[in-house]
Amino acid sequence: MGADMCIRDRHSAFVDLAEAWFAKHRLPFVFGRFCYQDKSALHEKIARRFVQTRVKIPHYILAQASQQTGIAPQHIRDYLRQIFYRVGAKERTSIRMFYAHCNARRLRHRGRF
């Protein structure tokens, strides 16, 4: 059983945004994006290294998150392994579509993309 199932079972009133977005548009949901204006070479290097580095979560933080959410540490690790850090054509299309939906509903957003 994956972390999504654990979260859904425990908090049935919540909606998984990524799952709902994918079901409707067949595109990934972009939760965040690293943006910068100055010193682009430095920021490019930071972003490249971040993608290449395996993210390690200290045991005490994992245990604390597990205790707070009631989700097993292994399920949290499995969920975090599914996060994709590269922004390709589908991700760019998805974020533009999201902002188009925001504009159609007259919701404010940062117009950076």
Q: How confident is the model at residue 2 (pLDDT cuts 50, 70, 90)?
A: very low
Are residues 73 and 66 in contact, defined by beta-carbon separation less than 8 angstroms?
Answer: yes
* Lookup: tokens for 43: 């920021």
The residue to which tokens 């943006």 are assigned = 35
What 3-state class would DSSP assign to 65? helix
| In the chain, where the domains are located | 3-104
CA pseudo-torsion sign 20, 22, 27, 32: positive
- Look up residue 54 and give its DSSP letter: P
Does pTM surpass 0.75?
Answer: no
Q: What is the pLDDT of residues 8-66, one digit of tens each?
A: 555 566 777 888 889 999 988 887 777 777 777 888 888 788 777 777 889 999 999 99
